[in-house]
Chain A
Amino acid sequence: MSTGIEQTPADGETLTEDELEALIGDRAIARDDHMNAPGFVVNPDEVQSVLSDLKERAGYDHLSSVTAQEYEDRYESIYHLKKYADASDEVSVVVPTASDDPVSESAEPVFRTADWHEREAYDLVGIEYADHPDLRRILLPETWQGHPLSKGYDQEKPQVVTLSEHANPLESDHRESGGESDTMFLNIGPHHPATHGVLHVETVLDGETVVDVEPDIGYLHRCEEQMCQQGTYRHQIMPYPDRWDYVSSGLLNEWSYARAIEDLADIEVPEYAQVIRTMGAELCRIASHMLALGTFALDVYGEFTAIFQYTFRDREVVQDILEDLTGQRMMFNYFRVGGVAWDLPEPREEFFEKTRDFLDELPAKVAEYNDMVTSNEIFQTRCIDTGVLEPEVAKDYGCTGPVARGSGVDYDLRRDDPYGYYENLDWDVVTRDGCDNYARVLTRMEEVEESAKIIQQCLDLLEDWPEDDREVQANVPRTLKPDADAETYRAVEAAKGELGIYIRSDGTDKPGRFKIRSPCFSNLQALGEMAEGEYIPDLVASLGSLDIVLGEVDR
């Protein structure tokens, strides 16, 4: 499974572009190729048939993202499709709809994950999807007026928000007595210790069993896409990615934007900078997985004193190293378009020594975690065979990252769609077949060890790098203006999964549309599948094992 080996093609399903064109046939009214993938323009009433053909007959089983945008004369939904077997094989389906009647067929019957993605498109841009099972606002309050990312939206308009959902759950109208069951409605969050931020989960309970789960998000929707659309490519966008997934995954997020813009503007990053990026990103992954483990232990057996504090002790060490490297503890803003901001801190030996000390101590710490957490009987009782997510279901919901890999879906963009320096290093993709909460935790812990292996190799490389070849930034023009109507969707493997960026250039120095595909957004959607029919403590465990960050879910 080493990345040095060429990716094997999917089992006889890979179609060439001509075959794809033949498959779609007359339903494609035009071509609209993106820089990352061929794009087919499809009529709004043929979305389902085209997508199901692409899924069933061409093997595009991963709907990464749905981008919606408004042009002067039309609305447009773009379905970014990939294959779980080969992430570099992509295709886009572009669906234009008229400005005065933006109705398009929903993709939800083909891909479950389209449910939330289309609700977001409806909420922010205002495209309506026919056949959608539940088309209502997802990020903004129900009472919101207007669609903020559509043209002609007046941001100054006052808005009214009510808090009526938090009525007393024990009131008689919240009890539905029908037949034998006597269900109760229960609000969890948005201010609740187990929701990892400001998530609101509406649950229906039958006794202690969860009958229905409906995550209600949007309590941290801070207009990240609007912020990025207002910033110039060169410097003003890079600080924002740090704040999407704020669990110290800053560099991983920055990389997603860096990768997209470098692809769009055709910038070659120096190899030395790529090694530094790889090392920094993996340090971030360790910090992020440590927090995931600590908070999960906190959720599952209320362990505030030992495990939680131990993981935070280790995070402090990582944050110290990253602070030495980038100058900041959390919001690094260290990547630049075409490289990184500066070289390793001087004296370099000290930095190497500090990082190596951390790596040397890591195996003992991981062993300690295994002693205390994963081999703990209470922990195992809570985690094994709870929150089961079958691989097919995970794929249908577009799950990626440790959540998918814990369900045996072998999908890791670092290997499947190589970027940075990963393909020259020796490491393995961790997958587990347990499909339960326990498997997801173990996947993260093993990924920490793999990350340590990567950092070790990067350190070796950096130490021996010739002094006159330490180029940290490519030569990038002061003002970046990619060609008008250039479009690309680029993703990296962030701590939580596939973090993708879609950018459409409109010929100016700011993006025309900037869309973030967040891994947590898709992963969280699968919560219902994992928790329904289980006990309510297992719901909390499942939520913890998904390791969501609300900043990234809501953006």
Chain B
Amino acid sequence: MSSDEPETRPRQTIHDSTAPSTDTRDSRIGEGVDDRFNSKLREAFGASPFILTKFDEFMNWVRGNSMFMLQFGIACCSIEMIHTYAIKHDVDRYGAGVPRASPRQADVMIVPGTIVSKFGPRMKRVYDQMPEPKFVVGMGSCTISGGPFQEGYNVVKGAEEIIPIDIHVPGCPPRPEALIYGILKLQERIQNGESSPVVVKPYELEQFGDLPEDELVQKLADEIDEDDLVMRYNWADSP
């Protein structure tokens, strides 16, 4: 089975290679008591009820078709996100249906809204609680750059400052159709085994050692527990 030839689908190779052996088996077991094995699927697969593929590819296919979304509402976009889940748009058609309330049961997180300084560490915590592999859809302009609130003193200039994002869906807010398109694109990426590398942003406490000791760091260093999640927003360096 050579993967270089695009026309050679695994199924085809299996069918060709196993054709003689099924003859033998068919002659041994005869017609059988009923035709329960003669399903559509079997017709498609050929006589053999097996399919050979790489386990990784299989897992990617499974993951892509059964995405557990996290119920994660932040701002305006979450309303359109709910509309995407609800009647008419019904994202369940793509195997990404009822949102899970706990991050520990979710694979995909849609970030629907503006991230502000106070919410940044919380979002990071929720993201950390999701089991690997995890995927993130950034919904709306705010998760791309801060959107209409980019100039705000309190607004994080894009969710990517905090967690890695696989798909950006632009719009303010994106229509449900756009979000569905984004979800389908993510499905495609998952099925092809592509996703963003996990990036750890430099805001854990130990990273503070490298920072210039300014007044604020000094003031807080004593109060901060080592287990705390700490974020340092460097607004001047933000885009």
A residues sitting closer than 8 Å to B (CB atoms) are 139-141, 143-145, 148, 153, 155-164, 166, 190-191, 193, 196-198, 218-224, 226-227, 230, 239-240, 243, 246-248, 291, 304, 308-309, 312-313, 315-316, 319, 329-331, 550-551
Contacts and interface: CB of A to CB of B under 8 A. Distances in A.
A330 B173 contact: yes
Given A220-B114, A222-B114, A331-B172, A161 B120 contact: yes
B119 interface: yes
Interface stretch (B31-39, B41-49, B52-60, B220-228): B220-228
A-B pairs with lowest CB-CB distance, top 8: A223-B152, A246-B76, A312-B86, A163-B121, A163-B229, A156-B236, A219-B119, A222-B149
Contact of A226 (B86, B152, B228): B152
Contacts of A226: 151-153
A222 B216 contact: no
B98 A162 contact: no
24 contacts: A141-B118, A157-B236, A158-B214, A158-B236, A159-B235, A160-B230, A161-B117, A163-B229, A164-B228, A166-B125, A191-B72, A197-B73, A197-B75, A197-B78, A220-B74, A220-B114, A221-B116, A222-B114, A222-B155, A223-B155, A243-B76, A246-B75, A330-B76, A331-B172
B126 interface: yes
Contacts of A227: 148-149, 151-152
The range of chain B's interface size is 35 or more
A309 B84 CA distance: 11
Chain A interface, DSSP helix/strand/loop, else mixed: loop
Contacts of A330: 76, 79-80, 173
Given A160-B217, A161-B118, A331-B173, A220 B75 contact: yes
Contacts of A331: 76, 172-173
Contacts of A315: 83
A230 B149 CA distance: 11
Contacts of A161: 117-118, 120-121, 230-233
A316 B90 CA distance: 12
Given A198-B74, A219-B119, A551-B76, 4 more contacts: A158-B214, A164-B224, A223-B152, A312-B83
A315 B125 CA distance: 33
Most buried by B among A145, A155, A220: A220
B15 interface: no
Contacts of B116: 218-222
B143 interface: no
Nearest to A153: B153
A159 B216 contact: yes
